[in-house]
Structure 1
């Protein structure tokens, strides 16, 4: 029987030697062929009797082929190579379908982006982006094809967010979510132009630009509460709670009855903005209000139709406008729902509340935010100067009796 070569796989050949017995058949010698710079190269691998197998030969050829192409990572076996090729083909076809149409809307593309976000980001991050999309981006821009979202649509979005009374930082975060969606589409060639930078659409904050300068007087707060009491009891209770706890609006929105302990007059905000939970005491007035609400399960504060709050009550903004509290005011000096927290923090600072207590009550993780509200008054400064002056005062030296000595 003559020696002959047989191709057993792509680029893999076997030479059968009739003079060498191996097991029940003849011994086989494996060799591979692959291209290097357009030229075919051959490489002998060894005999089956020495341990070489067809699977190993396929793997070796794949490794040589990838090395010739400068590829250092990827599937090593033929099965893995086929699986990877199938996945790449499916992905290419999916993207091709998206590229072939100019009618892919923001709402159509959202699942594509969200899938990537869930793989690469923490749950808290993509959950917040999902909230931005459902509450703002989808209602305002979801129906618009991605390729038609230009500066005009960005301007429309920012104006709508501003008119809704959202804080500058919140507007910035929502705009960032849209920018990341668009950037995701641009990198995958779904759109042909990169999204505009934040500074081009008014979604970048200047230093201190997020600071509200308006605090409510006691008379203004009472007027708001009285007007809400007659117009929207649900908004009234939410406003009173936020005003008397200095909490963030989102913390009140997510507060559940299971976290309200009326017996011990306290409430716990879970998974707050700074990533921790905190427990605060409740005043007698708040305890009475919460008892009158007939405590049950689920969220504590719901809208008039039983829906959860996702933004400040419209009635709060209407009351502020009806009372003329925002007439002729700069946008940073207008009354918004966040003014309740800003007012409460300001009052705490005016009462010389210890820094640690302010941080615990308001939920600040670092002293920087609390220090913004702590301003020493004239009396405090005078006490400080008196303490410094005391260092310059001398006292008569005390004579200490020592055993065996004299005065």
Structure 2
């Protein structure tokens, strides 16, 4: 069975991990469209060229189209458009350079003719973890909305069928995958931090810094500020120096984008009503500064202002996190779970276009996981209580939440088959019990 695809990739200085990534996609790579996002590149592009020549795989390599634009969604859209035009294969496969694929021999793209977008899945223990979409049928139109990070949802005006593909798993750069050790992860992010910082300084024209790459340099430093990487630094002073570099770069990013603390309090209401897409970068910059400041010995009172600044930039996300912290629940405490998910469900995102770094547990009021948790907790409360009025109310809430999932094509397509089966069974049981109660 021919499962060859056109692989879409983009990278900025990923020489530490790119070859491992390429080796993993060899079974399905018929063509690679590779976008170089670095103006001061390392050996990444050379490695890609050598690897493709060695394995006789067609390569289309080019430099970033949207030069000077910091938005990662535009970068991803560039790759998608070029691949859609250049590919001689039916499917486009999106891959990041710090990810790896594994196969179990079952993947067969011919089984998915009715779908336009496919997500691979990883099986972990007895559960299934579904990752973001990776396969896109050639010819479909769409992309990633402005301001969204690379891992956000693909949008299209077309009526597309979404599905899940068996036989392939995509793994991120973590020790848990067994595909990279701590030292390799440390080297990757340390080199990335140094390279991006040098790139930003080299391109500085005396007027404006490249704050997009400045933020990523700071984040790369922050990613290795963990105890398990500490032994790979040259010394304790080196470790603390990198921590301070991260804080400094985050603070510089905030100042350059007028999100430092002086501006943030002066323009508080302007930020709340703004639709500027980098606000979540600022939010995460303050969160990182807070944690790093505590790590180098600053007290909570000296650092808490950073948390307050973060909440000004993205009050919606901050409120969602506060609800989770304040209402920590045990999975068997169904009343607490229902209370938490009910509160999360009512939150309104003031930045609907600002999807940066919001993962699948984000607190949208139409999130399928929130509705699923609510319906499940309501179902079990109804099962366990002896109060007829409570039974009637909670069975009704469970039915309503499950029906809201099934009413939405996007939500119903986003849940795995086993979850859908459970929801259908719970819906039927709840309706039956409610009918008897009434």
After TM superposition, the score normalised by the length of structure 1 is: 0.21
Higher relative contact order (CA 8 A, sep 6+): 2
